[in-house]
Amino acid sequence: MAQLKEARSGSRRASERDPALLGQLIRDVHMAFRAAVDEALRPQGLSLRQVAVLASLKRSPGQSNADLARGASMTPQSMVEVVRGLEGAALVGRRPRPGGGRALQAQLTPAGVAALTAGRAVIAQTESKLLSGLSMGERRQLRHLLERALALLRPQRS
């Protein structure tokens, strides 16, 4: 009887007993955040994935579709569609590599830089909404714990 009462006592206790549920919770937060950002970006005609590509090109101009796909953990075919959409919106331009070859180099246009700035502002607003119920100390603690967890899961570079 005690076990039945304990099982009914709520998801918080269940998540404390079952570490597998923590991974599901992290995934759920990630998916909800992505959906909220995509919804907030929709009026600008952008998605989170597109803003991520714009940010990657800002950091490292001249990447090919294959380079961008690897960095975003996407298939090259999916990245072709993302880049074509950005190119069609005049946010990205592509040109042949100076040394030749079939791969085209992508770079931000001035409109792409402006879209990236606006997109980052939307992401920051959505992040603020996500964290609005936490104190500054809790925010720092959450960031610290997530960074530690991430460091434990990433392969060590020697």
For position 17, what pLDDT does the model report? 59
Q: Locate the domains of the chain by residue range.
A: 12-153
For position 155, what pLDDT does the model report? 81
Q: What is the pTM of this model?
A: 0.78
Span 3-18, pLDDT tens digits: 444 444 455 555 565 6
For residue 29, CA distances in Å to 21, 55, 73, 103, 151 come to: 12, 22, 19, 36, 19
- Residues of the chain under the 50 pLDDT cut: 1-9
Just give the CATH number of 12-153: 1.10.10.10
